[in-house]
Amino acid sequence: MHALLPGADPDKPVILGEVPEPEPAQDELVLTVEAYSVNRGETFQLDGQLDRTWPGWRPGKDVAGTVVRAAADGTGPAEGTRVVAHPPAYGWAERVAVPTGAVAELPDSVDAVTAAALPLAGITALRLLRAAGPMAGRRVLITGASGGVGHYVTELAAASGAAVTAVSAGPRRGARLVELGAVDLVTAVEEAEGPYDVVLESVGGDSLPAALARLAAGGLLVWFGQASRTPVTLDFFDFFKGPAQARITHFDYTRSESTYGDDLAALVRLVATGRLHPEIGTVRDWSRTAEVIGELRGRRVRGNAVLTVE
């Protein structure tokens, strides 16, 4: 079976190779992959900035396709069912085994390319908003909003009644965020006019302290990423300059009581009913994955990047 393997050359982050067919556990199904999405975290793993989790790791957490082997324990969809899935890895391949609890069925109205953009970014957005609490009537600031998570968060929060200010690297990259409901678009945190009840911060470096300074007294800052790869330095006394009694909480999308399958089903339902619109910046054949990774690293892709497997 063909699959993309981690490359040894920074200019070739992945290479096409041969791997054994997946051997599913009792509660896993096998699907033939029709499309997958590339996440920024996977690019960090490929260049060694994040732990690759285990020996023999291969990338691939967001996939869509058709079940070709149902789970042996009788759970999950039957063979021939179209699905979207969130495996722990190995999805950039012709076939992949996935726990049935990380799968959701697809209606005819949702194609594989659209579905492949949903798992990690969509699940993160859903769980991030749950962690932030009720949105109606609240002023919300989100940094790094031009990526997949930012587009989902903006649309979902705005639909829930929040006044969202989105931070994007440039007006062109952020234009879609306004269409999805953001009331304000700025190109730097320093341009945002607070105070904000909730700040959703994913850039790190100087971005987090600047965002904290715009948080309302008693407000909440949810720290869910560090895309700049630059550590954050905070001054305790900055809390007394405005956001007195404010809270900072770390967010990890994997820590949740709900299953990936439940959240995937919710995302599919929102897309099918026209209430959620995945922002897909590029769609290409999977032979061009290394090229797409380079563009993601250079922040030249807005929203999600999806590859199709022929």
> What is the distance between the alpha carbons of residues 219 and 198, in angstroms, rounded to a whole number?
6
Confidence of residue 225 (pLDDT cuts 50, 70, 90): confident
CATH number of 2-118+278-308: 3.90.180.10
At 177-190, the pLDDT tens digits run 999 999 999 999 99
Percent of the chain residues topping a pLDDT of 90: 77
Q: Under a CB-based contact definition with an 8 Å cutoff, are residues 224 and 143 in contact?
A: no
Do 34 and 26 form a contact (C-beta atoms < 8 A)?
Answer: no
* Domains of the chain by residue range: 2-118+278-308, 127-250
> What value does the mean pLDDT take over residues 143-156?
95
d(CA 85, CA 88) in angstroms, rounded, equals 10
What is the predicted pLDDT for the residue at 242? 80
Fill in the DSSP letter of residue 65.
E
Helix 171-179 crosses helix 148-159 at what angle (to 10 degrees)? 30
Q: Select the CATH number that applies to the domain covering 127-250 from these four: 3.40.30.10, 3.40.50.720, 2.60.40.3080, 3.30.70.100.
A: 3.40.50.720
DSSP assignment of 140-184 equals: EEESSTTBHHHHHHHHHHHHTT-EEEEE-SSHHHHHHHHHTT-SE
CA distance 221 to 57: 33
Residue 276 CA to residue 41 CA, distance in Å, equals 23
Question: What pLDDT, on the 0 to 100 scale, is given for residue 50?
Answer: 57
Mean pLDDT of all residues in the chain? 93
pLDDT tens digits, residue range 118-128?
A: 999 999 999 99
Q: Is the pLDDT of residue 297 over 90?
A: no
pLDDT at 205: 92
Q: Is pLDDT of 53 > 70?
A: no
Question: For position 49, what pLDDT does the model report?
Answer: 58
pLDDT digits (tens, 9 = 90+) for 97-109: 999 999 999 999 9
Asked whether residue 48 carries a pLDDT value surpassing 80, the answer given is no
pLDDT at 52 over 70: no
CA pair distance 30, 142, nearest whole angstrom: 37
Does the pLDDT value for residue 10 go beyond 80?
A: no
